Structure 1
C-alpha cells in the first residue's frame, strides 16, 4: 500500500487534484466528508458541538450550519480548538477504518485528502505529502467567489490555517494549481507515473 497525504490551503484546488487522482485509480479518503458524517444530527459529535456552541448553529432541520459555525471558529482560536477536540479523534478513527477497508478491497494507492493533514500530525503516517499550491492573490479571489464572501471573511479563513508557504516545508510533491486545469493534470499524472513506474507501493 502507498498512502498519499493530500493537503493545501482553503480554495487552493485540493478537491480538483483529489478528483484527478480518483480518476487515475486511487482510493480517496476525504476527511471533510468524514467530518460531515460524524456531525450528522443525533450523532455523539453533533450533540457535543451543539452543547458547546449552542442551538443557534443549527438549521431548522437540526443540521449544523457549517457557515455559521465557521464564522465562530475561524474568528476565535479557542473555539476552533474546542471544535477540533470534539471532531478530530472521531475523524481519525474513521480514517483508520477507511484505510483498512481500502486494503481489503485491493487498492494499492490511497489518498488521505485532509486540509489539516499537517496541523494534526497525520503527515507522519503517509508515504508522501502532496501540497496543492496557489499564490495568495489567487487563493483569496477563488475563496471569495466560491463562498460569495467578502475580503475580511476570506482572510480570516485563510489565516486560521497553517500558511501554504509553511505547508510547503513538509511537501514531498508540490502541485501548482495557479494555472489551467490541463496544467494541473499534467503535474498529477507525472507524479502518479513515478509512483507506478517505481512500484513504490509494493
Structure 2
C-alpha cells in the first residue's frame, strides 16, 4: 500500500484538492476530522489538555463540556510556548489514529491512501510517507482568503498564518507541488495530473502483502527520507551563511491583491 502525505497551509486550497482526490475514489484520511475526534470529552487527549490548560478552554468552563475551539485557538495562536505544549499533546494522539486507519486500509487490500495532514511536516509524519504533496499559494493570497472566509480581523488572520510554517518552506519538502495561483478548474486539473503521476504499480501493490516485502518496503521509504535529509537544516545553514531570513512572517500587504474565487 502506498501512503501519500498531503499538506498546505490555512486557506491555501488544500480542501479543494482533498475533495478532488476523493472524487477519484482514493481513500483519504482527513486529519482535521481526527483533530476534532481526539479533543472529544471521551478521548484521553481531551483529559491531558484539560489537565494542563484547565477548564478555561472548555465551553462554560465546566469539566466534561466540549472544547471551546475559539478560546483554545486564541490561547495557542497567540503564545508559541502554549502552542508547543498543545501540539505535544495533540500530535501523538492524531498520529495514533492515523496508524489505526492505515492498518485497516492495508488489511482491506487498498493500493493507495492519501493522508491529509495540515501539520505533516511539523508532526514529522513526512518521514514515513512515500510522497509529499504540497498545495501552495502566495502568502498575500492566504491573508485575503482567510479574512474573507472566516470574517477575521487582519491581526487575527495574520496570527493564524504565522502560527504555521511558511508555505514556501513546505515546498522544500515536496515531491509534488500543486500551485493554487489561478482558477478552480486549473487547481483541479493540476491535482488530477499529480494523482496520475503517483498511482502505484499493481505489481508492487501485490508484493506489499507479503510480510517480508512489506517490512523491506517500509524500511526503504523511511531510509529514503533519512538520506534526503531534513530541508530545515539546509534552510538554517543558508540563514547562517548569508545572514538573511529565508521566510519572514507575513505582514499586512501595502497593496490590494487580486484573490481567486476559491478559498478552501
How do residues 32-43 of structure 1 correspond to structure 2 at under 5 angstroms? 32-43=32-43
Which structure ranks higher in relative contact order (CA pairs < 8 Å, sequence separation ≥ 6)?
1
Equivalent residue for 2:77?
A: 74
After superposition, give the CA deviation of every residue in 1:19-45 in whole Å (9 maximum; x if it has no partner): 111111211111121111111024221
TM-score w.r.t. length of structure 2: 0.72
Report whether the alignment pairs 1:147 with 2:150.
yes
CA distance in 1, matches of 2:3, 2:88: 25
Equivalent residue for 1:15?
A: 15
Report whether the alignment pairs 1:5 with 2:5.
yes
TM-score w.r.t. length of structure 1: 0.93
How do residues 130-169 of structure 1 correspond to structure 2 at under 5 angstroms? 130-169=133-172
How do residues 56-135 of structure 1 correspond to structure 2 at under 5 angstroms? 56-60=56-60, 62-135=65-138
CA distance in 1, matches of 2:81, 2:169: 22
Structure 2 unaligned residues grouped into runs of 5+:
206-264
Q: Name the stretch that deviates more: 41-50 or 6-15.
A: 41-50
- TM-superposed CA distance for 1:106, in Å, is 2.5
Q: Classify the secondary structure of the residue corresponding to 2:23.
A: helix
- TM-superposed CA distance for 1:198, in Å, is 5.6
CA distance in 2, matches of 1:48, 1:26: 34
CA distance in 2, matches of 1:17, 1:83: 27
User: How many aligned residue pairs are there?
Assistant: 202
Question: 2:5 touches 2:115 (CA, 8 Å); kept in 1?
Answer: yes
Question: 2:11 touches 2:146 (CA, 8 Å); kept in 1?
Answer: yes
- Of the two, which has the highest radius of gyration? 2
Q: Classify the secondary structure of the residue corresponding to 1:138.
A: helix
- TM-superposed CA distance for 1:153, in Å, is 0.7
Coordinate RMSD, CA, aligned: 1.7
Equivalent residue for 1:49?
A: 49
- TM-superposed CA distance for 1:54, in Å, is 2.4
